[in-house]
Amino acid sequence: MKKLFCSLFFIIIISLQGCSDDFTRYINLKDNTSKNYYYNEIIKKFSSNEPFELEVFDNNFYKTFKVEDEYKNIITGFFNSLTSDNFIDPIEKKADEKLFEIIIKFKSETYYVTIIDENSIYISPYDGYIKSDFIDMSKIDKNYNLYSFCKFITNKKEPL
């Protein structure tokens, strides 16, 4: 019995040695010190003319609408019209308050622009680990209001 206990104890000690490895070296948690981190990433991709696809997801009906190339300039115009005043402190976001999501698909990354209401949105990537960028659209030209853009796309197009 004593041999069994010693053997079991020895096996447990050896097996726990593998757990002492420093697994946190693979986790790269960056601190978001700016309010426009993801905005800057998207602007860099737009500036380098990286091709992208757009989709609008209607959270009320759970339907996705593909955006044609002729309307992509509205999204690029929106991002180019933003100033530092548009970026606000994080607000409480609730899953049931999302009206639309604009999905911007680049080759290497996918970003979600979530429309909360007519004036508030936030930007985050598909698998982001940094706080979202929150944007107030109340002072942006009405031509670039993303809530109106989503309403237009969902009323004009058939879902995928």
pLDDT in tens, 38-69: 999 999 999 999 999 999 999 999 999 999 99
Element (H, E) at 105: strand 100-106
Q: Which residue has the higher pLDDT, 4 or 46?
A: 46
pTM (two decimals): 0.77
The total number of structural domains in the chain stands at: 1
| pLDDT for res 30 | 60
Tell whether 114 is covered by a domain.
yes
Which has the minimum average pLDDT: 1-5, 66-70, 96-100? 1-5
Tell me the three state secondary structure of residue 62. Answer: coil
- Domain membership of residue 68 as a residue range: 32-156
Higher pLDDT: 11 or 26? It is 11
Choose from 3-7, 84-88, 93-97, 103-107 the range with maximum mean pLDDT: 103-107
Over residues 27-38, the pLDDT tens digits come to 555 655 688 999
CATH no. for residue 38?
A: 3.30.1490.410
Query: What CA–CA distance (Å, rounded) separates 55 from 104?
Result: 7
pLDDT digits (tens, 9 = 90+) for 103-160: 999 999 999 999 999 999 999 998 877 888 999 999 999 999 999 999 999 998 677 6
What does 107-159 look like in DSSP terms, one character per residue?
SS-EEEEEE-SSSEEEEEETT--SPPEEEE-TTS-GGG-HHHHHHHHHHHS--
Compute how many other C-beta atoms are within 10 angstroms of the C-beta atom of residue 46: 17
Evaluate whether residue 10 is within a structural domain: no
Find residue 123's DSSP bridge partners. 113, 133
Residue 72 lies in a domain: yes
**Residue 61, Cα to own-chain centre: how many angstroms?**
21
Answer yes or no: is 47 within a domain.
yes
Report the pLDDT value the prediction gives residue 33, as an integer from 0 to 100.
66
